[in-house]
Every structure is written in C-alpha cells, then in structure tokens.
Amino acid sequence: MATLTHAHEELFQRAPDERYETLAALIDHCKVTRRSSEDRWLSHDRISITSDMSVVLDGDPDHRFCNWSFSQLCQMAGVSRSTINRPSHKTASRALQETMPASEKPFQVLTSDSRIRSIHGVAYTRLWNEELLTTIAEAAPGFTTPQQAFDGSTGLYCGEQDMFAFLIDPTGWVEINDQAFAPGFFVWNSEVGRRTVGIQSFWFQQVCQNHIVWDAVQVIETSRRHTARVRDFLDVVRTTVAELVQKRDARRDGLAGVIERAMREKLGDDADAVMKQLQKHGVSRDLGKKAIEIAGQGNGFTIFSLVDALTQLSQRVTFIGDRTAIDTKVSSLLALVA
C-alpha cells in the first residue's frame, strides 16, 4: 500500500495566512481574490518598466511585480533573476525593457489593484480556484477536512501562487480483513501558472497529525496544464468526486470484495511465473522485477501484494504520464478478481 505525502509537504511549506479552517472559508477567499483581479491583454509596447522598477500598463502607472510575476518576466526576457537583481533599479529596468520579447501577440497580465499577479503569453488559459472549488463543493457535499494537523492546519491552503485542498469522506469507512479504508482526495490549482490543475483520489487507512496518508490503495492521479481546454478538467474532477460520493456504497462493497479476493489469489507460484503474468499486463521487466522484490518481502505473490508494490513504485515516479500508465496496469491486475 502507498504512503502519500502530498498534504504533508503542503503542511510544512504554508504560512499561517495561507491556511483555512473550512472549505466554505477557502471558497469565499477565492471569490474575493477573483473579483479583485483583472486580466489585461496588452502588446509589448503598452508595458513599460520605469527606472524605479514600477510598471506602467497602457498608461496606468505605479504597478508592481510580485515575486512570481517578476520571475515570469525574467524567464520571458531570457535573463537570470539573480543577475537582474544585482545592478541598480535603473539599470535592471532598462535591461528588462530591452530584452522583453517584442511579440506581435499580446501579453496576458493579471493584476490585483496595483500588484501584477502574473504575466503570460496567449497560450495560457486561466482556471480560477473558485471554479474548481465550487465544483468540488457541489460534487462532494459529504466530504470534509481530515483530523487537524499538530499545528491546527486542516489541509486547506491558498497562497499567492497556488491552492491545495485535502478532503475525506468520514462516513465511507469499510472493513476489509479487519482493516478499515475510507475514500479521500487531494486537489490543487494555480491561477497564475505556478502548477498544473489536478486531483488524486484514493482509499486510505490512516492520516497522522503530520497529514501523511498511510496505506492508500486505488491511488489515481490526473492533472492538466493550463491550455485552451483546461476547463474540460472540471468535468474530470466532477466525475472523479461524484463517483466517490454517488457510488461510494457500491464501490465500498466492490472494493471490499475485490481486495479480499486479491489478498487470497496468487498471480503465480514463483518469480518467473509472476513475471510472465505481469508482462502480459504490460508491466515492463524492470518494473516487474522491482514489484516482485517488494511483494516477495510480504505475503508472497498474491495479486494484492503485487498491486500494492506497483502502487508504491508509482508514487516514486516523477512524471504524471508515467504514473498514469502504471495505475492503468494496476487496474488491469485488480480486474482479474473484480
């Protein structure tokens, strides 16, 4: 079974003013942020950086870059942020003005009062945190935050650059071979392009006060970049959460039966036989070898032990596409006892 540390990592990198007690409070904050923000489409000659590093947007003066938008500007200009921070403001502003790309296409500048939250090219499509969280609230009325962390954090965060939420279904517990599992998910987004929008759903056994999720099964992660069809991802989120809510009783019973059978039935009697079966299901020899080594340390080569091993290996993979490929192979193994 997998150990999920996403919420744990968020817990230790969030400032107190980025933490929220309830989903409703987080949504209200995101609504206020959206209402105070404005998208401006401006050609490069309508963006001027003054000698004191303030910014004039289409004749509107006294705007300032925040940490994130300044990093974006440096990247667009092809200059190192550490380098541009060394000279005087006058020299730095001139360097940025001269290296900023003179594209025929406009820039998308997101402002909030006098603060520039982000700057993008035309390929970027924004998905507001309010849109995503409202979808979550509508699709998952029974989900709530897990137990509070040691410092009182609930797993709900939103800062200048991104948002993260950790929710569970406290009524969804099911006993499987004297072990209890419940459904939950992580969801994340960035209105300024700091990270993808994504959701990771799972069934878990325990959450500690460091918000580490222990012994998770059926871990499925999906994410998308902020491109033209990013709003289609709301349907993905809606479907993922709705299945956990609307079908939780059926899924709970089905999960119990599947896991019980997977814990009993073996994929093979020895490593060679297991390897042949894994390869039939698209598992590479290298990945299969690692899974067999992990599974062999526990209860032998049961389908559950191999699914568990592959799930653990999936969480070590960096790229979402590779993780999704492994998750698909895990599902095909579980289908043997479904």
Q: What integer is the mean pLDDT of 88-92?
A: 90
Q: What are the tens digits of pLDDT across the range 275-308?
A: 888 888 888 888 888 888 888 765 668 888 888 8
Please state the pTM of the whole predicted model. 0.74
Residue pair 299/251 in contact by the 8 Å Cβ criterion: no
Q: What percent of the chain has pLDDT over 90?
A: 51
Q: Which amino acid is at 21?
A: E
Q: For the CA atoms of the chain, what is the radius of gyration?
A: 24
| All structural domains of the chain with their residue ranges | 2-33+127-247, 37-120, 265-334
Query: In angstroms, rounded to a whole number, what is the distance separating the alpha carbons of residues 121 and 124?
Result: 6
The identity of residue 329, as a single letter, is K
The residues pairing with 180 across neighbouring beta strands, listed in sequence order, are: 175
| Both tokens assigned to 6 | 């996403």
DSSP E strand boundaries for the chain: 2-4, 19-20, 37-42, 47-49, 55-57, 60-65, 107-112, 115-120, 156-158, 163-168, 174-176, 179-189, 197-204, 206-207, 213-224
Q: How many Cα atoms occupy the beta-carbon half-sphere of 53 within 13 Å? A: 17
Going by the DSSP 8-state scheme, the letter that residue 266 receives in this structure is: B
Tell me the sheet residues that pair with 63: 55
Per-residue pLDDT averaged across 260-267, rounded?
Answer: 80
> How many DSSP H helices and E strands does the chain contain?
12, 15
The 10 Å CB-count burial string (b at 16+, else e) for 326-338 is: bbebbeebbeebe
Q: Both tokens of residue 142?
A: 């029974």
Is the pLDDT at 322 greater than 80? The verdict is no
> Is the confidence at residue 183, as pLDDT, over 60?
yes
| pLDDT band at residue 74 under the 50/70/90 scheme | very high
Instruction: Report the distance separating Cα 63 and Cα 10, nearest Å.
Output: 30
- Taking only the tens place, the pLDDT of each residue in 240-262 is 887 777 656 665 566 667 777 77
pLDDT at 289: 86
Which of 62-76, 216-230, 278-292 has the least mean pLDDT?
278-292
Q: What is the pLDDT of residue 101?
A: 85
> Within a 10 A sphere around the Cβ of 99, how many other Cβ atoms?
15
Residue 254 DSSP label: H
Phi-psi region of 36 (alpha: psi -120 to 50; beta: other; left: phi over 0): alpha
What is the structure's pLDDT at 327? Answer: 67
Complete edge-to-edge strand list for the sheet that includes strand 55-57: 37-42, 107-112, 115-120, 60-65, 55-57, 47-49
Q: What is the mean pLDDT of the chain?
A: 87
Categorize the per-residue pLDDT at 46 as very low, low, confident or very high, splitting at 50, 70 and 90.
Answer: very high
3-state SS, 29-70, equals: HHHHHHHCEEEEEECHHHEEECCCCCEEECCEEEEEECHHHH
Q: What pLDDT, in 10s, does the model give residues 98-112?
A: 898 888 889 999 999
Q: Taking 70 as the threshold, does the pLDDT of residue 76 lie above it?
A: yes
- What pLDDT shows up at residue 56? 95
DSSP 3-state of 162: coil
Query: Is it the case that residue 184 has pLDDT exceeding 90?
Result: yes
- Measure the CA–CA gap between 156 and 134, rounded to whole angstroms: 14
